[in-house]
A and B are shown apart, each in its own frame.
Chain A
Amino acid sequence: AQSVTQLGSHVSVSEGALVLLRCNYSSSVPPYLFWYVQYPNQGLQLLLKYTSAATLVKGINDFEAEFKKSETSFHLTKPSAHMSDAAEYFCAVSDQGSGNTGKLIFGQGTTLQVKP
């Protein structure tokens, strides 16, 4: 069965520091992976997606993620944190056993705090 694990429910960084949010997945088939961001009292917004075209994926707001098959990881990074990056971040993998239903399996989420 597929699963997603986000290491660290809370991450705190200083403004201008590197952001690293960790995501590990388990899948018996090549996965499709996604990162979403959720600002307070809003829905989830797609940051980026991996669909096997390239291992380094660039997303919106200078975020990027690298797919590492050997480590079954898809960590999210940003070189320099802004105050506006404070939000909750979700990693997700396509449920490959569900046909074309589009189901996703979500991690538990990581809350990013950015300190001035």
Chain B
Amino acid sequence: DVKVTQSSRYLVKRTGEKVFLECVQDMDHENMFWYRQDPGLGLRLIYFSYDVKMKEKGDIPEGYSVSREKKERFSLILESASTNQTSMYLCASSSVRQRQPQHFGDGTRLSIL
């Protein structure tokens, strides 16, 4: 069965900290994605990756970076956390074959104090 695992369900950090959110998938998927979800704004794509070491900016990349050193792992990095980055973060993966859906992790609820 498909499995996308996010390292933390809840995380509390302080302003200015460097924050790492980790995501691992066990389906050998080529594509991986990071979204943030805020009330009234739906899902917004931060970054995505279509191959190891490859990454592309999504709609709201400012303040974030990503790393994909291995196919199964995609990390989201908040370089210097700010309170406006308090949000629900969702990771997803998908196969490169056409017509395939994205599979999501359970999300990380991040609070920046």
Contact = CB atoms under 8 A, between A and B. Distances in A.
Interface string A19-47: 00000000000001010100001111110
B48 A106 contact: no
A42 B107 contact: yes
Given A94-B99, A109-B42, A102 B105 contact: no
B64 interface: no
B40 to A, nearest CB: 8
Contacts of A36: 104
Given A44-B90, A45-B104, A101-B31, A107 B48 contact: no
Interface string A54-97: 00000000000000000000000000000000000010001000
B48 A46 contact: no
Nearest to A6: B42
Interface residues of B, number: 30
B100 A102 contact: yes
B76 to A, nearest CB: 15
A102 B104 contact: no
B113 interface: no
3 closest residue pairs by CB, A with B: A43-B104, A102-B94, A102-B31
Interface of B: 4, 9, 30-31, 33, 40-43, 45, 48, 50, 56, 90, 92, 94-107, 109
Interface of A: 32, 34, 36, 41-46, 49, 51, 90, 94, 100-104, 106-109
14 contacts: A41-B9, A41-B107, A42-B107, A43-B4, A43-B107, A44-B102, A90-B43, A100-B31, A100-B50, A100-B98, A101-B48, A102-B31, A104-B102, A109-B42
